[in-house]
Structure 1
Amino acid sequence: MTTIQSADDLRAALRAAPGPDEIATRGAAERNGELTKPPGALGRLEDLAIWYAGWRGDPRPEITAPQVIVFAGNHGVTARGVSAFPSAVTAQMVANFDAGGAAINQLARLAGARMDVHALSLDRPTEDFTAAPAMDEAGVVEALRTGWEAVDPAADLLVVGEMGIGNTTAAAALAHALYGGAAEDWVGRGTGVDDAGLALKAQVVTEGVARHGGAGDGLETLRRLGGREIAAMAGAIARARAERVPVILDGFICCAAAACLAETAPGALDHCVAGHVSAEAGHAALLERLGKAPLLSLGMRLGEGSGAALAIQVLKGAVACHSGMATFAEAGVSGG
């Protein structure tokens, strides 16, 4: 499927998406057992390499064409005062991405990744989800489709990031609606709100979930409480699943997008690993719900895909060791 025309198309694509190649997975596991190292000596790197090999259908893979995509959107809920910065900053940061001046530009370049930026109707924020659904059906499908079509099928690894003032509030609302608890469990300081701002975010999330929570599956929850950039991330992650492109998840907002897929179709995130755990309050709990152990824990909370882009280096290291090391037989080393 080269594009999607409805949310049901995305649901169908997730249900029909292929799993990892079992022959490649077995071949990678066998090769791992023959490499010149004690069993398990590379720890989690060994599991990562085998996981990656299965999704790429190659028992001895390489990572040569990673793609980083940053989506940007504006949120009507910012009118409630939930962010320390005005919505105008979203467009200003998009210009910074385009000029190569943001952290994600440096990390993508370091990883040898192609980087693309998609701004989604920044002059037209979503609705304030405390008063109405954030997006209508046509709006969420347009955003999902933008994400779906942004993925290069020739990529062999994907990172999706975001920029959107107010989007930690939307992400917290999604997590609260999908996984329960109290709003206070999911809200964090985002761009740096003070204690009063944190309390306001919790109130806004509570109001939004009271209005829209329990309305359907993950995609319907995304329509009601999310944002265009969050929907685009979900669309891109889903396309990667359909194309067997492994994904490194970024921070709280990216994982909220991913959670909407996880709550729509079983196994929707089997092709994903968590790049890092951020300093945003709800991220660790969200990763636990998703069953994803982070590769890095560096206190980052920037978004943009930055933590996941940095984790590309870890996955590249895992794959390089797996595919480049000699076996005991090749090296003439005893003990294999």
Structure 2
Amino acid sequence: MDADKKILIADSSSFDRSIIFGALKNTYTIIETNNGIKALEYLMSDMDHIKLAIIDISLPRMDGYDVLQHIKTMEQAKKLPIVLTGTEATKENILKAFQYGASDFIAKPFEPEFFRQRVLSLLGSSSKIPGKALNRLVTNSANNIDVIKEYDKFLNKTLRNLYSVRQIESPYHLKRISLFTGTLLKVLCKNSASGVNLNESQIELIIRASVYHDIGKIAIPDEILQNPDNLTEEQTIIYNSHTTKGSDILQINNNPQLSDFLQLTINIAQSHHESWDGSGYPHGLKGNDIPLSAQTVNLAVDFDRFSRDFYGITDNVFEIALEKILELQNKYNPILIRALSHSEAVINKIIEKYPERK
């Protein structure tokens, strides 16, 4: 434990503070307070050593939102992860937290181990996110961009033809997923606290790779693909195998100039149904054990699934889909939820340009 690195816990409930303390006591030095004024004082006086703040929204004297607003005006606090907590995890409260600059919102009551994993993922996020490996893949791929573009053009056309013949996906589905993915990554990179640092060329390669997330579905029987909501246990296992089958298909190509780009596509195909809390498939990965590219596509796919039925019916498509995402927030990296909450204008334009065709 590093005594010079501290975590601030600000909560009026001694019971909740004890739960948080127990979950994090073997990480950094813990400092505690039961009111907002004192929390702000700690943050302003010891900013160099506080590496994470956990603040309840219902603090006396100054609530958690006010503390967050005050501290985020300080330049040195821009990269400080701040987690807001509260018993009322409403859509309004969660969105307000993200809009004010919180890194996450965690609802009470806490499950200690889940709380620990979720909070620790924010500590040193630039090193927790597999950014070095991701940067290597996209940087090496950029060196072979002409070869990749030709391969991508061929594979993309082949995939779209197969999807069309077998009616696996609607015409604009792949386009929306790729654009949603790019939008989320661009917003992440604008937020220095996210720890994600990719340039436009690198993001473009991930956008290209995202199109192949469901390529494994071409190996799944039609009777299963056409009825995914009413499957037997055995059929569900077969359906879920589209992730590993996709990985197998993409590994067939052994062109060394494509190897790093193909690894991006494999990561996405295999892991885009993994969940932040470990409840996904095929391997039950959790947190940043899931490649960031796959985390992003996972959120893009689910957002598209939640929004597509409302195209042309209501002007509140984004709000409806975001509310569904927030109900399932434990499935997703909190920095991605925050990025999504800041992407409404861009995503609405994508939906308008590439609507679901009935």
TM-score (norm 1): 0.33
Structure with greater contact order relative to length (CA < 8 Å, sep ≥ 6): 1
**Higher helix share goes to which structure?**
2
TM-score (norm 2): 0.31
**Greater C-alpha Rg:** 2
